[in-house]
Amino acid sequence: MTHSPETPEVPIRPYTVTAAEVVPGDLLALCHEDAAQHRWHVVTHTQPASPEVILVVLRPPLGGVDHEEELRREQRVTVAGRRLDVAAVPLVTSPALDDVEFRDGDRITRLRAVDPQAEHVTYVRRWGAWHRDTEQDADGGVTDADVRRWAAEADREGNVVRHDPRPVREAEAAGVRRVVVTGLGAVTPLGVGTGELWRGLLEGRHGITELADKEFDGLPVRIAGTVPVDPAGLLPRQAARRMNRAAQFAVLAAREAWTDAGYADGGTRESGLAPERVGVSLGAILGDASVLVGGDRKLRAKGPRGVSPLTTPMTVPSQAASQVSLDLHITGEARTVTSACASGTEAIGQAVDRIRYGRVDVALAGGAEAVVTPAIMASFAAMRALAEGDSSSGSPSRPFAKDRDGFVNSEGAGILVLESEEHARARGAHIYCEAAGWGLSADAHHVAAPDPSGDGIALALRRAVRDAGGRIEDVVHVNAHATATVDGDLAEARAVRGVLGRRGVPVTALKGHLGHLQGAAGGVEAVAAVLTLHHAVVPPTVGCADVDDAVDLDLVRGEPRALPAAGDLVLSNSFGFGGHNAVLALRRVSRPAESG
């Protein structure tokens, strides 16, 4: 039973009195039928109208409008046996709704105010009809005309009707949180760990080797960037058996990044984090192509019973994200981005937005890939996209060089820990830099070749700077995608030069060190870009002895170079087959540390 504190519940103990005995506060029914139908009124005022007649002012006990009745003194009426405080009974008029335009989400509250024991009944408008708040009416609900009639008749019938329109929200800018990088992890052809990656970059080493396995015999190109350590040997045996090679890379990189961010080994629970406030966002093109190929071989050799039940879950590109989620007990989300060679960078950008707008507080973001397989190598070779050369005499991958002749297929993983700034500072975390913004675009030009104008790339570059709240003159370094393909490098150089102008912004390209890690390239190169900001040192470009005259960029070669002090943005570029363009913008948050 619903009452306001000012209108307490009233026990009903009817008895008959004469009108002359009625006083203000009495709960009155004019006849036995009214009492039987729970139709009561509070006497708010009485006064003689004549020697034989009393004028009585009545109001519904739960609120409403007043009306007057003339009663003969000797007339018998029914009272409830309890008086009310007249001042506590509200004077309420139901609004006219004839000209009101109803909207789905509006609410109507209807109260039979003449019944002291009545309860409010609320209706919500859904799909053009009014339904009880707690149930879907079987008959299709009440019409707008019914509601308008209720309001029109309410005062006369002793009811109260209230209309609550659905709130109309004013358009406003969403609150945006600043996102920072607090942890780094990498598994690359230079070794396991960000330390091996950074040392190899500064020392000008490369991790490209000749493929020795017999399954690569007969291929026109047999050089690739492979991780020099078996990742399965670095993981518990039972867990490793359920992961494909790309997922193994991802879990190792994620564990390193997690620990580097200052979190406890084991994952969210051991770190005192709510697992639903942490997410995973990884890029991959195929993940690990070898699992499906291996399953097909076993099917042909041994029949259906020879195919492992883990073949399908270990084939999907999302396996790396799901395994990181399982390993660190992350339940907020585990997303996979597949946009060719831009996948890793786009995955980081999407994680930035998930944190910015409050979906999660922490995210592991980057990419993982393991596609150094005979079929993939043969396919790239058929496209004439792979570099040829002897890896023992220097890197066969020669970005921006006059004699570049294609990319080197590689594998690995690179992962960042991203957090909202307030979350990181509240726990006293070490902050590498700000993940300030990102930009996407599409060439809409060709299934494999880049748009030679570089317009799509330029659009992504400008969008990343704008999203970071910066200006072009804030850019102090570009980590180029530069795969060492003839047309791709020129399109990127044209775009970078067009956006940045003729300023001497140092540019480096890391695929001479690493080869092309495909969907993981953006993650690994983002790790390197963060370290460039952190150490204030730009690694050199390996393999480019003689720069193509058409490139016309300030390419860092030979030795590392100090990062310019004026400005604070570093851009990390990733572009993929089909015209996918993604650029990540990173910003210094404090004075750079001494290089080491």
Residue carrying structure tokens 């067009």: 498
Catalytic positions are 341, 481, 516
pLDDT tier, 172 (very low <50, low <70, confident <90, very high otherwise): very low
Average pLDDT, integer, range 440-454:
93
Buried b (16+ CB within 10 A) or exposed e, 437-459: bbbbbebebeeeebbeebbbbbb
Average pLDDT, integer, range 564-578:
94
- pTM beyond 0.75, yes or no: no
* Nearest C-alpha neighbor of 456 from the set 575, 332, 288: 575
Phi–psi pair at 554, nearest 5 degrees: -85, 80
Q: Are strands 561-562 and 537-538 parallel, antiparallel or unpaired?
A: antiparallel
Tell me which of 255 and 301 has the higher pLDDT: 255
Average pLDDT, integer, range 460-488:
96
Which residues fall within 8 angstroms of residue 593, CB to CB, at 6 or more apart? 534, 535, 536
Task: Give the chain's mean pLDDT.
Answer: 91
Contact 548, 494 (CB under 8 A): no
In order of 125, 175, 233, 589, the CA distances from 555 in angstroms are 65, 39, 39, 25
Residue 1 confidence (pLDDT): 34
Residue 246 confidence (pLDDT): 96
Contact 285, 338 (CB under 8 A): yes
| Domains located in the chain, CATH noted | 15-88 (2.30.30), 106-164 (no CATH), 182-588 (3.40.47.10)
pLDDT tier, 312 (very low <50, low <70, confident <90, very high otherwise): confident
Helix, strand or coil, per DSSP, at residue 562? strand
pLDDT tier, 3 (very low <50, low <70, confident <90, very high otherwise): very low
In order of 148, 225, 402, the CA distances from 545 in angstroms are 83, 20, 8
pLDDT at 586 over 70: yes
